[in-house]
Structures are given as structure tokens and as C-alpha cells.
Structure 1
Amino acid sequence: MLKTAENPVPVFKLYGETGAWPTPDLFHCESIPERSRLHHWEIKPHRHSDLVQLLYVQSGQAQLQVEDVLTQVVSSSLQVVPALCVHGFRFSDDVQGYILSLAQPLAEQLAATLDSQVLRTPACFAIGSEGRYLDALFESIAAEYDQQQSGRDLMLQSLISVLLVSLSRRARAQSSAQGPDRGREHVDAFTRLLEAHYRQHLPIEHYASALSISAAHLNALCRRLAGQSALQMINQRLLLEAKRCLVYSAMTVNQVSDSLGFSDPAYFSRFFKRGTGLSPKGFRIQR
């Protein structure tokens, strides 16, 4: 059972970890048994604020709960867990597979390149006849991740891109087979509008009006298909850009605030701390 607001779901960087992202990479790869064995094959409900996970069950059995969807896995399957989605897993002790974690900046970059929502929408895909292909792909990712050879980052991003292209094609084929989904079309259009206008701090009603739907309907669609409300999506996009500016630029906090459309740097600092638990200066120092 997922925890309520009175009994909040913990926010982890990785399973059971609340500290800093444990690697300078924008990705992390490990086998399912490697960490799950330490937790007696059960990962209790939690969420990640700034990473996306792909869980590939090669063999064995698993019970995957993502938000309010409970999936019983008895054959090779791949589960997508977007950022902020509450999820918990239970595995049989003979489970085999991998967990690939992508830091949000990398996940957003890849999603934009693919023009796909596959990393933003919770979904579980039965693998079927493509099992050998994915086995080889994940094994290559894991092997490259554990090595420190020249060109490692480029090789890993290339392998991960191949994986995501395959996953995106599967998602599009599944969507086509199910017929047009107006709700998904609305969320996709909202995401594109948000990318163009997030610095303007437009109200949800503005986006909903542009899509010719109500704000309540837009919120409901975002919760169902993206795992978070429209306002959360807006705030997360602002936070993501703020993090990028603080980590990858020499802009002052006031300059970051101005660049993101905040009229008051003090309000920006409060907004950032609510979303990350750190002040902008504290976040920059930690990174």
C-alpha cells in the first residue's frame, strides 16, 4: 500500500539511499539481485525526485507497483518508472535482470531527441521474442558501465539511446494497436507548450485553454499519463533548468532567478528549496 500525505513516501536517490547521487555519471546500472538481496527481495514504496528508472526482469517473478497500478510479472518484462512516480517492487529470490537509472537531465535530453514520451509515462512492456536482443543490450550496458575505458560515456549513451529507440518504437506500436488516445495527445501537446513557455510562469488555465480542455481535465490527464499534476510538471521543468544553470554555468543565483522568469530572487530561493531541500547556493556547493 502506498503511503499517504500523513505518512509520506520517502524520496530516494537510489533504493534505500537518501544521500547524494552516488556517481559522477548521469546514469547508474546494476543487477536486480545486487541491491534487492540486501532488502530481502522487497523494495518498499518510494519515489525519486530527479531520476528515471528502467527495470528489466529477465527471468523469475516480480510484483511491480507503480502509482496505483500493480503488475504481476511472470515472463521477461521492462518497467518504465518516471521521476516522481511512487513505486515498490517484490521479487522472487531467483530473479535475474537489471536496473538502469538515468539522471533527469539525461532523461530529458534523450526524450527530446526521440520526440517521445516513453520516459515520462509509467508503463510495463512484455518483451516476448525480443528477449535475446534486450539481454545482449543490457549486458553490454552493464559491462561498459563497470569498466573505465576511453570513450566510456559516449559508448554508454549510444547503447542507452539504442535501448530507448527500441522502447519508443514498442510504445508507439502498442499505442497504434490500441487506436488513437486523445488524452495522450493532449499531454504530449501540453509538454511541448510547457517546453516553449515554462519561463513565463503561465497558469494551468492558459495551457488548458490552448488545448481546448478544462484545467481539471488537463490535471487528470497529467496524473494518469505522466504520474504527476500539471503544476508539478511545470515546477519540475523550472527546477530542472535551475539545476542545470547552477551546475553548468557561472550565473549568480539572482541571474538564474531572472533567466527563469522569477521577479523576486528570494521567492526563487524558497521555490528551489521546497523542490530540492537545498538552497540554490547549497545545491551548487554540494554538486
Structure 2
Amino acid sequence: MVSKETLDQIKSLPLAQMVKREPWRASLPHSETSHTLLWITRGQGRITVAGRRSGFGTHNAIFIPAGTMFAIEPGTGTFGSVIFLPQDERLGLPTDPVHLRTRDVSAHKEFNANLEQLQRELDSERPGQDRAAFAYAALLGVWLDRQHAEEAAAQYSDAATRLVARYTRLIENKYPTGHNVQHYATALGVTATHLTRVCNQVSGQPASQVLNDRVMYEARRLLRDTKEPVNAIAKSLGFSTPAYFTRAFQSHSTMTPSAYRNGAHI
């Protein structure tokens, strides 16, 4: 049986819709409670997954497991789809990030056909619609398995990439604590200098920016999507004082938290 809660987590939307109104929701590092599958049909851009930055282009498929930090910066004229999939073992989805650059035309057609059928079932009210939508979501998992084979493991096998992936996992679990890079480096058994050097190598950003961007994403989300007082938001994100939070936010976004909340960013 496929529960309504599980089916509600299966969604497909155009990439442009994800980034059109508030680009920071895509371009600042964050994670989703569902698995995220990106399918690029035109254009190019950059994506950072688990701290690893790389370029993407047409007919790239990028799978991001739930709870994994990522940020995407699509270029002008980039088109594609974003598919959200539930954390359900029956779908057989990968446990690690996968970035595929497919060249086989038949593989492109197969993915597009499965995605179109999935969307058709999500939009329908026919009997068995829930089972059919789940089945097409599972077929996307099969497609990923067949395409990437050993490629995903090879992409994430080197020591530098593994360290940065561990760092982003720690950030995702602890960013509201206010811990600095030194704390994370100690937890990872390396020096802050080494962690920064490796982050620059893998993601093109220092360790401090990786951490700060994640915190600022959450700050924007809370200011935009909730009515929590600024003081409470500052405290929930580990800032010692509201004034410190205001300075950090203004440095990152060029406006105060209150101005951002009141619509100065629109």
C-alpha cells in the first residue's frame, strides 16, 4: 500500500519555478527532507552537493539524498525539472549523491518518458493513481541504478571529497549551535587550516563560507516564512546577541533582518 503521506511527498516542478521568485532558496546551501532529483534539459550552471562543487549541463541527472546539503546556481536559459521523492526504501534510491552526465539518447528518452508518466499520474484521479505514481517514481530509481553503476562511488571516493562531505553533514546537524570552523575541524580530527584548504579545493569556498551560507539560508527562511521575532531567530541560530546577528545578516545580504522581512528584498 502507498499511503497518502508518501504520495504527497512525490512532486515534480520546473527548475525555473524553484528559483524564479527567490533565488537564494536554491543558491544558498540547504537540505530537503525529501530526496531531490534534478534533470537538466537545457543550459548549464553550477551545483554544490555535500560541499563538492561542479558544473552541470544538458542531460545531467543529479540525485541528492534527503538531509544532504546542496546549492544550485543555474545559468540564464537553463531549463529542467526538480523531482522530490519520499524516503521510502521500496523506491530503491541511492544512499549517496549521484551526478550523471548522460550521452545516450535512448537514456534521455527513457527518463523523459518516465517523468511524463509520473506527472500524468500525479495529476490524475483515476483508480490506482497512487500505486501508478509510486511505480513510476520507482522506475526513476531503476534508471539511476542502471546509469550510474560504479560512477557515483568513484566520484565520492577521494579523501578530500569525503572530508568535505563529512563537514557538510556535521553542519547540517549542528549549524544552529553557533559553533565555529575550529569546532567542526576538531570534531573531524583535522586542523581548521587543513579543513579550509580542502574546502577551497573541493567546493571553491573556504570552510567559513560554507558554514555561514548555510546559517544565512536558514535565517532568510525563518524571516521569510515565519513570524518569529528577530531576537528569537538570532538565538535559535546560535548568535550570542541580536546585534551580532544583525551585523552578520547585513554583511551577507546588504540589509538588516527587519528590512528583509518587510519586503526590501522583493
Matching residue of 2:206 = 229
Judging changes above 3 Å, is the alpha-carbon distance between structure 1 residues 282 and 79 closer, same or farther for their aligned structure 2 residues? farther
**In the aligned structure 1, how far is the partner of 2:201 from the partner of 2:185?**
16
Query: Could you tell me which of 226, 230, 233 is aligned with 1:253?
Result: 230
Match runs of 1:37-56 below 5 Å = 49-51=24-26, 54=38, 56=40
Q: Indicate whether 1:57 and 2:41 are aligned.
A: yes
Match runs of 1:15-94 below 5 Å = 28-29=14-15, 49-51=24-26, 54=38, 56-57=40-41, 64=44, 66=46, 77-78=59-60, 83=71, 88=75
Matching residue of 1:272 = 249
**In the aligned structure 2, how far is the partner of 1:258 from the partner of 1:185?**
31
Match runs of 1:100-111 below 5 Å = 100=81
Counterpart residue type for residue 99 of structure 1: G
Counterpart residue type for residue 230 of structure 1: A
Counterpart residue type for residue 83 of structure 1: A
Matching residue of 1:125 = 101
Judging changes above 3 Å, is the alpha-carbon distance between structure 1 residues 168 and 98 closer, same or farther for their aligned structure 2 residues? same
Q: Indicate whether 1:99 and 2:99 are aligned.
A: no
**In the aligned structure 2, how far is the partner of 1:242 from the partner of 1:275?**
11
Higher relative contact order (CA 8 A, sep 6+): 2
Q: Which moved more, 1:131-140 or 1:204-213?
A: 131-140
What SS does structure 2 have at the residue aligned with 1:83?
A: strand
Counterpart residue type for residue 59 of structure 2: S
1:167: Cα distance to partner? 8.4
Query: Could you tell me which of 180, 186, 208 is aligned with 2:163?
Result: 186
Alpha carbons 2:12, 2:81 under 8 Å: kept:
no
Q: Which moved more, 1:245-254 or 1:212-221?
A: 212-221
1:84: Cα distance to partner? 6.4
Gaps of 5+ in 2: 1-10, 18-22, 28-36, 48-52, 63-69, 88-92
**Any idea what the Cα deviations from partners look like across 1:127-181, whole Å, max 9, x if unmatched?**
5352223212454688899x8x99xxx9xx9899779857875668413256832
Matching residue of 2:111 = 134
Alpha carbons 1:79, 1:124 under 8 Å: kept:
yes
What SS does structure 1 have at the residue aligned with 2:81?
A: strand
% identity of equivalent residues:
25
What SS does structure 1 have at the residue aligned with 2:80?
A: strand
Judging changes above 3 Å, is the alpha-carbon distance between structure 1 residues 29 and 83 closer, same or farther for their aligned structure 2 residues? closer
Gaps of 5+ in 1: 1-24, 32-47, 91-96
Alpha carbons 2:164, 2:199 under 8 Å: kept:
yes
Q: Which moved more, 1:169-178 or 1:186-195?
A: 169-178
**In the aligned structure 1, how far is the partner of 2:212 from the partner of 2:12?**
21
Give the structure-2-normalised TM-score: 0.58
1:78: Cα distance to partner? 0.8
**In the aligned structure 1, how far is the partner of 2:191 from the partner of 2:59?**
36
1:255: Cα distance to partner? 0.9
Alpha carbons 2:164, 2:202 under 8 Å: kept:
yes
Matching residue of 1:204 = 181
**In the aligned structure 1, how far is the partner of 2:251 from the partner of 2:163?**
28
Matching residue of 2:67 = none
Counterpart residue type for residue 125 of structure 1: R
Alpha carbons 2:111, 2:140 under 8 Å: kept:
no
1:186: Cα distance to partner? 1.3
What SS does structure 1 have at the residue aligned with 2:71?
A: coil
Counterpart residue type for residue 131 of structure 1: H
**In the aligned structure 2, how far is the partner of 1:205 from the partner of 1:124?**
34
Q: Which moved more, 1:272-281 or 1:256-265?
A: 272-281
